[in-house]
Structure 1
Amino acid sequence: MSILTPFKNLMQRFQPKMMAVGINHNAELSEKDAFISRQIPKPKPAEGELLVKISASSVNPIDIKTRVNYHLDGIFKVLGLDAVGEVEALGKNVDDFVVGDQVFYTGTQPQIGTNAQYQVIKAALVAHAPRELSASQAAAMPLTSITAYDILHQAFGLTVERDSVQDKTLLIINGAGGVGSILIQLAKYIGLTVIATAGNKESRAWEEGLGADHVLDYHEDLAGQLSKLGYPKVDYIANLQDTDAYWDLMVNTIKPFGRIAGIVTNTKPVDIGALKEIGAQFTWVFILARGNFNHNLQEQGDILTKIATLLDEGELKSTATKFYQGLSVESLKQATKIVEGHHTLGKVVIDYQEDEQ
């Protein structure tokens, strides 16, 4: 044993702690210990980082995927990517934020997640939170907004400015979920004609309320419905539901030189060659790729700055629809159950400020 070991143990004993909710195995949600709470060391910001006291977070499908595929049994992992909170401390060389700023962001997979009282986050990924939204309303927005923006800008090559696109049509497969709900709004903002799919009256009403020009019933023949509307072919397709199930539809519906974006991994081979003859493109959009590969992180913060402005100006509205109170095993379990049921309109949020409404 090193002579320094007792001193290290003593320092760890008196290191500030924080409460976090996480997992330590790939449990089914029905299991009693699917989530557990622990006291863990409160982090300190390194160079280029912020320490944020988290006010609210939201649950995303990637959180569920991470939980069910977790194989490091016995090792505690905190999930959660989206957050809104207050800057409590700054690392060196942080110029765009000060202590006390209200910020929002989505994090990266390797780090301790947002289901905790505090988190350190690279400043490049962060933006000042919308002033006109509550913490809970803003917490719904980061991951899905960046994904929607990337679909329009990176995958489709469009400029995300008001009425920058004319006479172009976008088909959104699954317009009622988190990404679809903000994509409808951003697409309308830039001037696209938006056709979205829905599975029930509630989803249809939700999508129409967000601005969709047409809503199709995905239980029925989508190609036939598109033709009846006068759009047998479309310029852009965003598949936010099931790449395998809708591949043939997309290939047969996209216009020559059109563009398709997907966010859900295929489980079997797809015939990408079918797009060659018409010069169409397919692009994967995965928001976490920037953080995972430390690629152009500032772009993510810049996108959120633009989203915050559009929210404050009323061009976009929050997609938060369900709210749970308090950072706890029970609130996270209930919020996750809603998202895992695949029938969510918009986003599910957890407000950590139990004494505030």
Structure 2
Amino acid sequence: MRAIVAREAGGPEVLEYAEWPDPRPGTGELLVRVAAAGVNFIDTYRRSGVYQIDFPHVVGVEGAGQVVALGDGVTDFAEGDQVSWHDAPGSYAEFVAVPARNAVRLPAGLDLTKAAALPLQGMTAHYLVSSTFEVGPGHEVLVHAGAGGVGLLATQLARLRGGRVITTVSTADKAELSRAAGASEVIDYTALSDLTAELPALVRDLTEGEGVHVVYDGVGRTTFDASLASLRVRGMLVLFGGASGQVPPFDLQRLNAAGSLFVTRPTLAHYSRSRLEIEWRMSELLGLVDSGQLDVRVGASYPLADAAEAHRVLEGRLTTGKVVLLP
């Protein structure tokens, strides 16, 4: 089969469109013909060496497609089922072996490209607003990168739970997308000369001087200090990614001085530890998509061979919604 292979750590240029042995489903696995693979920051972290992984490896962990074979012990799926999945290494390929526990059968008629955009970012947005900090009526919420894949979904989910959402974006077009997703206020951070000083001041102006109850920050290094300063007393900073780079160590005494703040660094793996949890999150998301209450935006799609370009635009923060690869 054809696949995207990283033979060493590095930038997008290390991604190679190459022949690779066809996978075979092991015990508890599905062999799936990939219709679309999701592109995620975790792929770039592994490719670059930020996250440890063996080289060479086929990149990618997420996608949607059709089951073509079953491994031993699989009883909940059948050949021909259309499924989506998260955490199946090797997903940037024509075929992938998917752990059955990480796959979900899709409802008839759901577009597979859109389905590939939902598992990782959708479940991330779901755990952020329903588990890490449970958004409810009256909560003030700040979402960075409001027009990104997680940002658009988290905004919609927080609004559905009764929260009021403020977002940050980098362009006028992204601001429009964020407002359409339900953001009450959108801040163009490129217009700020000092993000750390000016963003918290704007947020407090929008929250009667109090600050927000929670910040969902997937940007990291460049926004961290502004995020902390935007919180009200006993607020929580949920740092779920590092698109601009990893946050360096900091003095915990800052949390005391700023109002007994909370900081957490979650990851999806710890919020999808059981089959029941995965089914809960995905069933809620798929139900909201089916009812028209949740819009899943595919902002860009690339041929599988152009994976390097997809990584460049993602890391350059030039995307909106989800980026997918099409084998």
Identify the residue that residue 8 of structure 1 maps to in structure 2.
Answer: none
TM-score, normalization: structure 1? 0.80
CA shift at 1:132, angstroms?
4.6
- In 1, the alpha carbon distance for the partners of 2:228 and 2:52 equals 40
d(CA) in 2 for partners of 1:337 and 1:252? 31
Equivalent positions of 1:238-317 (< 5 A) are 238-242=216-220, 244-265=221-242, 266-276=246-256, 278-289=259-270, 295-317=273-295
Q: Quick one: which amino acid aligns to residue 310 of structure 1?
A: L
Change beyond 3 A, Cα 1:71–1:280: closer
- The 3 A distance-change label for structure 1 pair 345 and 20 is same
Q: Measure, in 2, the Cα distance between the counterparts of 1:341 and 1:80.
A: 18
Counterpart among 10, 13, 24 of residue 43 in structure 1:
24
Between the aligned partners of 1:72 and 1:198, the Cα distance in structure 2 is 30
The runs of at least 4 aligned residues of structure 1 exceeding 6 Å deviation read 70-74
> Is residue 186 of structure 2 the alignment partner of residue 215 of structure 1?
yes
Shift of 1:187: 0.9
Q: CA deviation at 1:84?
A: 0.3
Q: Tell me the CA shift for residue 73 of structure 1.
A: 12
CA contact (8 A) 1:22 1:37 kept: yes
Pairwise CA distance, 1:282:
1.5
Amino acid at match of 2:127: D
Question: Mean Cα displacement is larger for which, 73-82 or 299-308?
Answer: 73-82
* Alignment TM-score, normalising by the size of structure 2: 0.87
Q: Does 1:169 align with 2:140?
A: yes
Counterpart of 2:318 in structure 1 is 343
Q: Secondary structure at the match of 2:186?
A: strand
* Correspondence for 1:227: 204
Equivalent residues, number = 316
The alpha-carbon distance between structure 1 residues 132 and 279, as it changes in their structure 2 partners (threshold 3 A), is farther
Distance, in Å, in 1 between the alignment partners of 2:238 and 2:158 is: 14
CA deviations on 1:246-292 (whole Å, 9 max, x unpaired) are: 3333333222232221113544222333334634321112124568x
Distance 1:276 1:72, change over 3 A: closer
Cα offsets for 1:161-203 (capped at 9, x unmatched): xxxx211110112212121121111111111101001121011
Q: For 1:28, give the aligned amino acid.
A: G
Cα drift, residue 116 of structure 1 = 1.4
Deviation of 1:128 (Å):
1.9
1-side partners of 2:19 and 2:270: how far apart? 29
Kept after mapping to 2: 8 A contact 1:261/1:282: yes
Match of 1:194 among 141, 165, 171: 165
Matched, 1:184 2:155: yes
1:95 equivalent in structure 2:
75
Note closer, same or farther for the CA distance 1:166–1:138 as it changes in structure 2 (3 Å cut).
Answer: same
Based on CA coordinates, which of the two structures has the bigger radius of gyration?
1
Is 2:35 aligned against 1:55? yes
Contact 2:32–2:68 (Cα < 8 Å) also in 1: yes
Q: Match for 1:203: what amino acid?
A: K
The Cα shift of 1:104 comes to: 0.6
Q: 1:269 is paired with a residue of what secondary structure?
A: coil
8 Å contact kept, 2:199–2:230: no
- Structure 1 residues 43 and 149 mapped into 2: Cα distance closer, same or farther (>3 Å)? same
Q: Cα–Cα, structure 1 residues 272 and 152, in superposed 2: closer, same or farther, change >3 Å?
A: farther
Partners of 2:25 and 2:98 within 8 A in 1: no
CA distance in 1 between partners of 2:54 and 2:229 (Å): 48
SS at match of 1:37: strand
Q: Shift of residue 231 of structure 1?
A: 4.2
* Deviation (angstroms), 1:57: 0.8
Q: 1:139 matched to which residue of 2?
A: 116
Within 5 A, what are the aligned runs for 1:51-130? Answer: 51-69=31-49, 75-108=55-88, 111=89, 113-130=90-107
Query: Tell me, which stretches of 5 or more residues in structure 1 are unaligned?
Result: 1-17, 159-164, 353-357
Can you give the 5+ residue segments of structure 2 that lack an aligned partner in the other structure?
193-197
Q: How high is the sequence identity, in percent, across the aligned residues?
A: 27
1:176–1:198 CA contact under 8 A, matched in 2: yes
Distance change >3 Å, CA 191–CA 197, structure 1 → 2: same
2:9 corresponds to: 26
Q: In 2 relative to 1, CA 57–73 (structure 1 residues): closer, same or farther, beyond 3 Å?
A: closer
1:132–1:311 CA contact under 8 A, matched in 2? no
Q: Give the CA deviation at 1:139.
A: 1.2
> What is the Cα-based RMSD across aligned positions, in Å?
2.5
